[in-house]
Amino acid sequence: MSARIGVVVFPGSNCELDVVEAITGLGGQAELLWHGDISLGQVDAVILPGGFAHGDYLRPGAIARFSPIMDAVREHASAGGPVIGICNGFQVLTEAGLLPGALQKNVGLKFLCCPSEIRVETTSSALTAEATVGDVLRIPINHFEGNYTCDADTLALLRGEDRVVVRYVDNPNGSVDDIAGVCNEGRNVVGLMPHPERASHPLIGSTDGVVLLRSLLISAGAAVA
Amino acid sequence: MLFSVLVETRLRPGIADPQGATIERSLPHLGFDGISGMRVGKALRFSLEAADEATAQAQADQVTQRFLINPVIEDADVTVSVAEPA
Interface test with A, best of B24, B66, B69, B72 (most A CBs within 10 A): B72
Q: How far is CA A106 from the centre of its chain?
A: 18
d(CA B60, CA B80): 8
Contact A45, A5 (CB under 8 A): yes
B65: three-class secondary structure by DSSP: helix
Give the sign of the dihedral formed by CA A148, CA A158, CA A99, CA A199.
positive
The helix (run of H) or strand (run of E) holding residue A115 is: strand A112-120
pTM: 0.94
- Nearest-neighbour CA in chain A from B55: distance (Å): 24
Which fold does the domain A4-224 belong to in CATH?
A: Rossmann fold (3.40.50)
- DSSP code of residue B64: I
Mean local confidence (pLDDT), A140-151:
97
B9: three-class secondary structure by DSSP: strand
Asked if the interface predicted TM-score (ipTM) of this complex is over 0.95, the answer is: no
Contact B18 A102 (CB under 8 A): no
State how many domains chain B has. Answer: 1
The helix (run of H) or strand (run of E) holding residue A17 is: helix A16-25
pLDDT at A223 over 80: no
Q: What local confidence, expressed as pLDDT, does residue B85 receive?
A: 75
The tens digit of pLDDT for each residue in A201-218 reads: 999 999 999 999 999 999
Q: What local confidence, expressed as pLDDT, does residue A149 receive?
A: 96
Contact B72 A94 (CB under 8 A): yes
Confidence of residue A1 (pLDDT cuts 50, 70, 90): low
Instruction: Name the catalytic one among A15, A87, A150, A183.
Output: A87
Residues of A in contact with B67 (CB under 8 A): 58, 62, 66
Contact A223, A33 (CB under 8 A): no
Which range (A62-71, A146-155, A196-205, A216-225) has the least confidence?
A216-225
pLDDT at A192 over 90: yes
**Domain parsing of chain A, residue ranges:** 4-224
Mean local confidence (pLDDT), B14-31:
93
d(CA A205, CA A13): 23
- Structural domain including B63 reads 2-82
The tens digit of pLDDT for each residue in A44-102 reads: 999 999 999 999 999 999 999 999 999 999 999 999 999 999 999 999 999 999 999 99
Give Dmax over CA atoms of chain A in angstroms: 47
The domain spanning residue B63 has which CATH number?
Answer: 3.30.1280.10
Contact A149 B73 (CB under 8 A): yes
Name the phi and psi angles at B7, rounded to 5. Answer: -110, 115
Instruction: Name the catalytic one among A16, A95, A145, A197.
Output: A197
